[in-house]
Amino acid sequence: VQLVESGGGLVQPGGSLRLSCVASSLDSEDYTIAWFRQAPGKEREGIICVSSTANDKTYYVESVKGRFTASTDNFGNTVYLQMNSLKPEDTAVYYCAAGPPMYCEAFYYTQHMRLSLFGSWGQGTQVTVSS
């Protein structure tokens, strides 16, 4: 699946941004979408795994829980990342990624999303939080 992100930019602390990730496949049951970010000088970290079935739960890393919300459009081929109450430490390149169907709630137990689980990546979009 091919992925294209958009929506990044410069925002002041406390502000909001919405990122979009458009997937080429129209069948959301074929894959799981996740959001990663990579801050300058740091490793890429998984922050959200978007559940695609009714018996699963979207995973949010603790640092974004309550501030970031992932959602999917009615057709299932666009995933949104609504980011509120942004902080300077949220500054990073944000990537969406796709992998085979997986159980996102499991990441609440492992507390880690391995990059190798996801075989398709978007080009990334820069988010800068600064006054």
Determine the pLDDT at residue 67: 98
Determine the pLDDT at residue 10: 98
β-bridge pairing 32-38 and 92-99: antiparallel
Determine the pLDDT at residue 53: 82
Determine the pLDDT at residue 29: 64
Contacts of 24 (CB under 8 A, 6+ apart): 1, 2, 3, 77
Write out the chain's pLDDT in tens, 131 residues. 899 999 999 999 999 999 999 988 656 567 899 999 999 999 999 999 998 888 889 999 999 999 999 998 877 789 999 999 999 999 999 999 999 989 999 999 888 899 999 999 999 999 999 99
Determine the pLDDT at residue 97: 96
Determine the pLDDT at residue 12: 98
